[in-house]
Amino acid sequence: MLESSKDSAKLDAMKRIVGMIAKGKNASELFPAVVKNVASKNIEIKKLVYVYLMRYAEEQQDLALLSISTFQRALKDPNQLIRASALRVLSSIRVPIIVPIMMLAIKEASSDLSPYVRKNAAHAIQKLYSLDPEQKEMLIEVIEKLLKDRSTLVAGSVVMAFEEVCPDRIDLIHKNYRKLCNLLVDVEEWGQVVIIHMLTRYARTQFLSPWKVDEVVDEYCENNFYESDEEQKEKDQKLKTVYTMDPDHRLLLRNTKPLLQSRNAAVVMAVAQLYWHLAPKSEAGIVSKSLVRLLRSNREVQYIVLQNIATMSIQRKGMFEPYLKSFYVRSTDPTMIKTLKLEIMTNLANEANISTLLREFQTYVKSQDKQFAAATIQAIGRCATNITEVTDTCLNGLVCLLSNRDEIVVAESVVVIKKLLQTQPAHHGEIIKHMAKLLDNITVPVARASILWLIGEYCERVPKIAPDVLRKTAKSFTNEDDLVKLQILNLGAKLYLTNSKQTKLLTQYVLNLGKYDQSYDIRDRTRFIRQLIVPNEKSGALSKYAKKIFLAQKPAPLLESPFKDRDHFQLGTLSHTLNSRATGYLELSDWPEAAPDPSVRNVDVAESAKEWTGILGKQKKEKPTKKFYSESEEEEDESASNSSSGSGSDSESEKEDKEEGSTDESSGSSSPSEESTDSESDSKESAAKKTCRAVNESDSEDIKKKKAEGIFKKRSTSSSSDSEYTSSDECSSGSKSESDSKSDSESGKSENATSNKKEEKPVQDRKTPKNQDVFLLDLDDFCPVTTPVAVPTAAVLSPSLTADLEGLSLSSSSVIDVTMHVSVPTKTHELLHRMSGKGLAAHYHFSRQPGIFGDCMVPVQVTLTNTTDQKIENIHIGEKKLPPGMRMHEFNPIECLEPGGSITATVGIDFCDSTQTASFQLCTKDDHFNVNIQPPVGELLLPVTMSEKDFKKEQGMLTGMNETSTTIAVAPQNSTRLVIIERVVKAANLGVVPSGQDNIHRFAAKTVHSGSLMLVTVELKESSTAQLIINTEKTVIGSVLLRELKPVLSQG
């Protein structure tokens, strides 16, 4: 059939062959016939042939070579999927002769334009490596290259290859560490697991242990339990300053946290183990909730998760105590799950919850699942030893169980009681007597042996019963289990020593029986005991000590959790589950004594940026000590890491060029955007200066390129269709955002006048998600700007790019970047006084969190407080009276505000770069109040980071009427660098530009709406005066800002 000329016949044949393979039958003799069809045009036949090839190529190497040329051809196919699948099959054919061909293919694919092909290249690396480990060095090079890749698609696979080929080459990770952390959320779930595990190992070698400090704090808390909270806080703070977590360490913890909410249990577990192994002990607790959630899923998942929880709960009880009830056993659970739950409950038991637990255990003991009931009894025993308060209760309970009808339960109880009695050598006479009575009924060997041992051990306390027991057991000796026989011998020996009058004969009888027993263990033991206890002429000195030997005080056994020793395995690993080292398990190293140089993770940037990173480093060190957990610090980190990783090295920027060139193919998608950008710049108000337009136009070209790139490379989770992309980029270029709604609607139908309002809302809303889009996009992008607020950057960036292109000096790839804000002015303004608001008070302040509502919006945080004694319901924004052009993004209506409660809502207002007042109505269910927000000019800016060089370049272009300056008197205490920076940044949302001169301070920002640059220079002169210069196109804002900044510096 395979020879048939008809595709359908061939297909049918192939299907049958695949069916054979699936059943595990050998189909290898068909190889020649099948391989001919590898070039078939029919995709399905081709696929099935691939399946066949991968299965049998290894066995028929010579024939398999026939197919290679087909793949080589396919590797050059314009369709990325065909390239990818060719690479996949080629690398899956395990024929050593083609190693060089594979190597070549991998190398080529690793610089393929399609991330999908690159992903497959990463997979192929592992395959090639397992085929021929000699290629290691070359493969590492490829891995190194792929690690630099910014696509989320590639990241998971390449880290996998890294783990496979060269897990010890930790140095390859340094430069990519921050990037990986930032990409993590958007990587596909399987990749996340691999990356998290790798980063856990990495972090263990690179950061200092956060635990030591914790311990100090803990101790401290205990010592000073009664100290006032405030004092405590102060001291805690002091302690914290001693250890400062590396910002990169913090970055990792922060970026993995949202993954706890993944639907994929493996991801959640990976994050949990990361927190367990890396986070300060106080923070590790956040994972427990998510782990408990996993207990709702499949049996297999539960099993693994419970095992891990068991290990965790031994070391840190507190983590899971609040969830104790979630571990209650259900009667439908399989036994293995039940026992694990029981284990965890036992670990969690303490004085406070033991009574509840014991009650629960009582129910379990009655369970029909006897194996589980037995496990419960052991658990009770463990609780009894661990918590002395309940030992007696438990013991009594267990004794009651001795009268249980079920033998297994009784036997288990006996064993546990035996252990308990040993730990508590007082009052057991009664219990032992009771147990001796049981001996007649119990048949389980372990239990019988336990009873005999107990009687022997404490024979002096039950002098009457012991010989009788020996008599009975001597009768049944031959029918007993080996275990029991040994204990009978023991009992005999002990009695012989303590009460030889009554038992001498009996013991000898038993010893004789033992002598001829079938088991050599028993014969051995008999001989040994006889020599020891029966005095005869040959017996040596030892028999004198026989009593001491037999009746020595025995140490009580420790009842321990079987999970006790598992903690040396990394959680969540196979080795942990099996409690033995699995092949390929990589030990988690201990924390280093001293932190390795953190600067290795900084990505080298051309010299201009060097000092800039220096400053950042400085800031980092200062900040965390002050507000360790503050949002702003986190943001700063992010921007720091982003921008440093974002500013690619030379080789990258070359690559980037290449990419840019090649993306011209996709001009299809970029052309509409060009049109719209053009039309938009045409429609721009004539107020815009000509120069500005020139810049704008050149911008749009750059943007276009980047856009194309973006479209090609984006892998973000949230981005939408291409057209949307275009529009979001337009926004970023600072165009009026209305134009994007227009361009949308123009392409469709003309919009309804009535639906105007509706239309506007979605547009605004859409901004929010888009912001994230762009953030993600830019990470993938090769453009040197990467920051979470990349939206506005395009406009700022492009002039410098243009300049670069003019100068063709790639080495000085400049970095201009919107920075995240460090200081948020605490000043709040009153929006609505409680008197005029009938009890509803409202305040607002500018949160300076860029880009929440889109690029043009200034976010304003409104705090609403209810000062009445009644609920205020349905607070929302009513009618808006905005000056033309201004727009506002409302907050979601607040359902209800409790008396005395307050709530914070954020609105976004596009002030159109003017200080005009935004008036609107704040409505409640029954009332509405007119309120106004007037922005200080400093809040109409978004900070920008740029190098000094770029600053000067930009400044040079904004001279003449774009420059305003004034001389001010500077209060002496204000003349240090730090104070100036702090004051200026507080007054206006400006970004600090590193300065080479001590007496000149530079700040840069762009206006929120139009994105015009705003450059501020403070030049300190002698005799406490200073020159304040502002360069901007927006001269009005410039002069207002100048006026506002003056008092800031002159006041004391």
Partner 1 sequence: MRRRCGDRAGTGLSGQTAQACSRDEKMIHSLFLINCSGDIFLEKHWKSVVSQSVCDYFFEAQEKAIDVENVPPVISTPHHYLISIYRDKIFFVSVIQTEVPPLFVIEFLHRVADTFQDYFGECSETAIKDNVVIVYELLEEMLDNGFPLATESNILKELIKPPTILRSVVNSITGSSNVGDTLPTGQLSNIPWRRAGVKYTNNEAYFDVVEEIDAIIDKSGSTVFAEIQGVIDSCIKLSGMPDLSLSFMNPRLLDDVSFHPCIRFKRWESERVLSFIPPDGNFRLISYRVSSQNLVAIPVYVKHMISFKENTSSGRFDVTIGPKQNMGKTVEGVVMTVHMPKAVLNMNLTATQGSYTFDPVTKVLTWDVGKITPQKLPNLKGIVNLQSGAPKPEENPSLNIQFKIQQLAISGLKVNRLDMYGEKYKPFKGNCKKRVLRKDPKYQIFHDTQTQGANSRRTCLLLLRSV
Site residues for partner 1, window 484-503 (CB under 8 A)? none
Min dist CB 308 to partner 1, Å, is 9
* 407 part of the interface to partner 1, by CB under 8 A: no
- In the region spanning residues 616 to 655, those forming contacts with partner 1, defined by CB under 8 A, are none
* 138 part of the interface to partner 1, by CB under 8 A: no
* 343 part of the interface to partner 1, by CB under 8 A: no
Pair 924, 834: CB distance under 8 Å: no
Annotate 227-251 with DSSP letters as a single string: S-HHHHHHHHHHHHHHS---HHHHH
What is the spatial distance between Cα 51 and Cα 16, in angstroms, rounded to a whole number? 12
* 665 part of the interface to partner 1, by CB under 8 A: no
What is the spatial distance between Cα 990 and Cα 1002, in angstroms, rounded to a whole number? 9
Binding-residue pattern over the window 55 to 94 for partner 1, x denoting contact by CB under 8 A: x--xx-x-----------------xxxx-----x--xx-x
- In the region spanning residues 169 to 188, those forming contacts with partner 1, defined by CB under 8 A, are 185, 188
Range in contact with partner 1 (rule: CB under 8 A) among 333-341, 379-387, 463-471, 873-881: 333-341
Range in contact with partner 1 (rule: CB under 8 A) among 361-369, 641-649, 676-684, 993-1001: 361-369
Min dist CB 360 to partner 1, Å, is 8
Min dist CB 294 to partner 1, Å, is 9
The smaller minimum CB distance to partner 1, of residues 232 and 666, is found at 666
* 400 part of the interface to partner 1, by CB under 8 A: no
- In the region spanning residues 577 to 616, those forming contacts with partner 1, defined by CB under 8 A, are 577-578, 580, 582-586
Binding-residue pattern over the window 13 to 52 for partner 1, x denoting contact by CB under 8 A: --x--xx-xxxx-----------------xxxx-xx-xx-
Structure tokens that stand for 384 in this block: 């009894």
CA 379 to each of CA 23, 253, 471: distance values in angstroms, whole numbers, following the listed order: 46, 36, 34
Contact pick of 69, 224, 282, 331 for partner 1 (by CB under 8 A): 331
What is the spatial distance between Cα 90 and Cα 1052, in angstroms, rounded to a whole number? 74
Structure tokens that stand for 741 in this block: 């709604």
Unique residue bearing structure tokens 């401290």 = 220
DSSP 1032: E
Min dist CB 437 to partner 1, Å, is 20
Range in contact with partner 1 (rule: CB under 8 A) among 200-208, 274-282, 297-305, 650-658: 297-305
The smaller minimum CB distance to partner 1, of residues 194 and 469, is found at 194
Q: Which helix (H) or strand (E) holds 65?
A: helix 61-74
Min dist CB 27 to partner 1, Å, is 12
Unique residue bearing structure tokens 């008092």 = 1047
Contact pick of 247, 492, 514, 572 for partner 1 (by CB under 8 A): 572
Unique residue bearing structure tokens 């022997």 = 456
Question: Which residues are CB-contacts of 870 (< 8 A; sequence separation ≥ 6)?
Answer: 839, 899
Question: Which residues are CB-contacts of 277 (< 8 A; sequence separation ≥ 6)?
Answer: 200, 204, 570, 571, 588
The smaller minimum CB distance to partner 1, of residues 47 and 928, is found at 47
Indicate the residue type of 281. K
What is the spatial distance between Cα 570 and Cα 279, in angstroms, rounded to a whole number? 14
Range in contact with partner 1 (rule: CB under 8 A) among 363-371, 380-388, 969-977, 985-993: 363-371
Min dist CB 334 to partner 1, Å, is 4
Sign, CA torsion 650/654/655/659: positive
Min dist CB 162 to partner 1, Å, is 11
Helices (H), 295-369: 299-315, 335-348, 354-365
* 220 part of the interface to partner 1, by CB under 8 A: no
* 754 part of the interface to partner 1, by CB under 8 A: no
CA 450 to each of CA 163, 299, 420, 436, 446: distance values in angstroms, whole numbers, following the listed order: 51, 36, 12, 10, 6
Contact pick of 76, 169, 233, 299 for partner 1 (by CB under 8 A): 299
What is the spatial distance between Cα 80 and Cα 712, in angstroms, rounded to a whole number? 12
* 956 part of the interface to partner 1, by CB under 8 A: no
The smaller minimum CB distance to partner 1, of residues 474 and 858, is found at 858
Min dist CB 718 to partner 1, Å, is 5
* 483 part of the interface to partner 1, by CB under 8 A: no
Structure tokens that stand for 605 in this block: 């940037």
* 189 part of the interface to partner 1, by CB under 8 A: yes
Unique residue bearing structure tokens 């300049």 = 803
What is the spatial distance between Cα 73 and Cα 55, in angstroms, rounded to a whole number? 22
* 925 part of the interface to partner 1, by CB under 8 A: no
Min dist CB 82 to partner 1, Å, is 8
Buried b (16+ CB within 10 A) or exposed e, 902-921: eeebbbbbbbbbbeeebbbe
Min dist CB 936 to partner 1, Å, is 25
* 328 part of the interface to partner 1, by CB under 8 A: yes
Coil vs helix vs strand at 845: strand
Range in contact with partner 1 (rule: CB under 8 A) among 3-11, 235-243, 472-480, 516-524: 3-11
* 238 part of the interface to partner 1, by CB under 8 A: no
- Indicate the burial class of 781 (C-beta count within 10 angstroms; 0-12, 13-18, 19 or more): buried
Range in contact with partner 1 (rule: CB under 8 A) among 521-529, 709-717, 826-834, 911-919: 709-717
Structure tokens that stand for 861 in this block: 């945080």
Binding-residue pattern over the window 532 to 561 for partner 1, x denoting contact by CB under 8 A: ------------------------------
Buried b (16+ CB within 10 A) or exposed e, 320-346: beebbebbebeeebeeebbbbbbbbbb
Binding-residue pattern over the window 846 to 865 for partner 1, x denoting contact by CB under 8 A: ------x-------------
The number of residues that bind partner 1 (CB under 8 A) is 130
* 980 part of the interface to partner 1, by CB under 8 A: no
Q: What is the dihedral of CA 435, 439, 444, 449, to 10 degrees?
A: 70
* 902 part of the interface to partner 1, by CB under 8 A: no
Structure tokens that stand for 68 in this block: 């290679």
* 379 part of the interface to partner 1, by CB under 8 A: no
Nearest to 372, CA basis, from 424, 346, 333: 333
* 268 part of the interface to partner 1, by CB under 8 A: yes
